[in-house]
Amino acid sequence: MSVLVVAEHDNTNLKPATLNAVTAAAKLGDVAVLVAGSNCHGVAEAAAKIGGVAKVLLADDPAYEHRLAENLAALVAKLAPGFTHVLATATSAGKNVMPRVAALLDVAQISDISAVEGADTFVRPIYAGNALATVQSSDPIKVITVRATGFDPAPAEGGSAAIETVDPAGDSGLSQFVGQALSKSERPELTSARVIISGGRGMQSGENFHLLEKVADKLGAAVGASRAAVDAGFVPNDYQVGQTGKIVAPELYIAVGISGAIQHLAGMKDSKVIVAINKDEDAPILQVADYSLVADLFQAVPELAAELEK
Ligand SMILES: Cc1cc2nc3c(=O)[nH]c(=O)nc-3n(C[C@H](O)[C@H](O)[C@H](O)COP(=O)(O)OP(=O)(O)OC[C@H]3O[C@@H](n4cnc5c(N)ncnc54)[C@H](O)[C@@H]3O)c2cc1C
């Protein structure tokens, strides 16, 4: 069996979540990685070095510069008949492209898998991660999005796959790139951060998030938030962790002033070590935390920052 992984990148850097999709793909067969972009040869070279990748397909064309889903889906659908499975990560980008691919191929999409049971059988979380569904597909080509936290990343180095140029599928003319407003941060991205410190409604204001930023700076951490903190306007919505936010699984997740609603837990409960700082000893987050500090965050967090200064 041969498996195509659609790489996620910005024409310069390969997004780390692609490595997790490669691990899922390697459970199914020989892995080819598609790098579609513009002036993205460097990304193809990075993809060729991933351990376990047999081949890299490079589609370098202005039509893919901004990875418009309509253009990319047409290319993936054109290449798909050479594969038994087509995978992408269940990120916003992957979730934009893969349903279109599935529709073009007239197959069902298998969404957000967290385990591979066999060539046609996959596990995926449902009900905000409270149940796991095992799904089986009889479609000739399986179009799949992968929950990155369900799979370890494949080694970024060690492979030496050949890079093969493929013909672009052209501009579909269905959409046009107008512009983008990207948030800039010196901190790591939430979905790939090794450490995350998140604040909830207990932070009381956006200004108070600077308490978390101080700790984040010391730990090289990303800053996240609960939906309540986002809805209250404390921080932008790309900070949100949870069922309707980002799914993360860092080595260390520090939840500050977050109660631990199931929708929040759905986004972070696979973190390796969970620390909770909450003044309520009955807060549900304490049930999932490995280490809990029952304290007022306005005292505990500055103390933590001061200790890290030492
Ligand atoms: C369909 C749906 C999707 C959702 N998706 C998400 C999602 O993706 N992510 C998400 O987070 N939520 C999501 N929610 C919302 C979720 O149900 C909760 O409302 C939300 O997570 C609560 O956020 P919170 O823990 O910050 O606030 P609260 O539940 O109000 O908890 C605040 C916590 O702060 C503590 N606290 C207060 N002051 C202090 C202090 N001084 N020191 C220490 N601790 C203090 C309190 O004890 C409390 O535990 C979703 C809800 C629905 C219905």
Of ligand 1's atoms, which has the minimum distance to the CA of residue 260?
Answer: 25
134-188 residue pLDDT tens: 999 999 999 999 999 999 999 999 999 999 999 999 999 999 999 988 878 889 9
Tokens 């059988």 found at = 121
pLDDT score at 46: 98
Mean pLDDT of the region 82-103: 97
Above 90 in pLDDT, residue 26? yes
Q: Compute φ and ψ for 37, nearest 5 degrees.
A: -175, -160
Q: CATH topology of 2-165 equal to that of 190-309?
A: yes
Q: Which CATH number fits domain 190-309: 1.10.645.10, 3.40.50.360, 3.40.50.10610, 3.40.50.1220?
A: 3.40.50.1220
Please tell me the residue having the least CA distance from ligand 1 atom 8: 242
Residue 130 has a pLDDT of 85
User: Can you give the pTM of this predicted structure?
Assistant: 0.86
Nearest to 165 by CA among 251, 36, 283: 36
Listed in sequence order, the DSSP H helices in the chain are: 17-26, 41-48, 69-79, 92-105, 209-219, 227-231, 262-268, 285-288, 297-309
Q: Give mean pLDDT, residues 3-29.
A: 97
Phi, psi values for residue 179, rounded to 5°: 175, 170
> Is the pLDDT reported for residue 310 higher than 90?
no
Report pLDDT digits (tens) over 210-255.
999 999 999 999 999 999 999 999 999 999 999 999 999 999 999 9
CB atoms within 10 A of CB 36: 28
Phi, psi (degrees; rounded to nearest 5) at 120: -120, 10
DSSP-assigned beta bridge partners for residue 59: 36
Strands 115-118 and 121-126: antiparallel
Burial of 127 (0-12, 13-18, 19+ CB in 10 A): exposed
Q: Are 227 and 264 in contact (CB under 8 A)?
A: yes
Residue 76 and residue 33: Cα distance in Å, rounded?
A: 11
- Specify the residue with its C-alpha closest to ligand 1, atom 52: 263
Q: Kindly give the distance from the C-alpha atom of residue 34 to the centroid of ligand 1, in angstroms, as a whole number.
A: 39
Q: How far is CA 53 from CA 45, 127, 154, 156, in A?
A: 12, 33, 9, 10
Q: Could you tell me the pLDDT band of residue 121, with boundaries at 50, 70 and 90?
A: very high
Give the binding-site residues of ligand 1, using a 6 Å CB cut-off.
200-202, 226-229, 240-245, 257-259, 261, 263-264, 267, 277-280, 283, 296-298
In contact, 20 and 127? CB cutoff 8 Å = no
Burial degree of 138 (CB within 10 A; 0-12, 13-18, 19+):
exposed
Determine the distance separating the centroid of ligand 1 and the alpha carbon of 6, expressed in angstroms.
Answer: 35
Mean pLDDT on 180-207: 92
Closest-lying ligand 1 atom to the alpha carbon of residue 243: 8
Pairing of strands 142-146, 109-113: parallel
Beta bridge partners of 5: 33, 87
Kindly report the average pLDDT of the chain as a whole number: 96
The domain ranges of the chain are: 2-165, 190-309
Best CA proximity match to 9, nearest among 40, 30, 31, 33: 40
Residue nearest to ligand 1 atom 50, measured at CA = 263
What does the pLDDT read at residue 181? 86
Q: Helix, strand or coil for residue 294?
A: strand
User: What is the identity of the amino acid at 288?
Assistant: V
263-301: pLDDT as tens digits: 999 999 999 999 999 999 999 999 999 999 999 999 999
Q: Are 122 and 143 in contact (CB under 8 A)?
A: no
- Which residue of 258, 268, 274, 281 sits with most ligand 1 atoms within 8 Å of its CB, as the best mutation to test the pocket? 258
Measured CA to CA, the distance from residue 23 to residue 4 in angstroms comes to 12
Backbone angles phi, psi at 292, to 5 degrees: -125, 140
- Pick the atom of ligand 1 nearest to 241's CA: 9
- In this structure, which residue's CA is closest to atom 48 in ligand 1? 259
Nearest CA to 258 out of 213, 197, 305, 207 is that of: 197
Closest C-alpha residue for ligand 1 atom 14? 263
The position carrying tokens 């009955």 is 282
Q: H or E element: which one contains 160?
A: none
**231 CA from centroid of ligand 1 (Å):** 10
CA 248 to ligand 1 centroid distance, Å: 17
Average pLDDT of span 120-133: 93
Distance CA 268, CA 60 (A): 36
What is the fold, at CATH topology level, of the domain defined by 2-165? Answer: Rossmann fold (3.40.50)
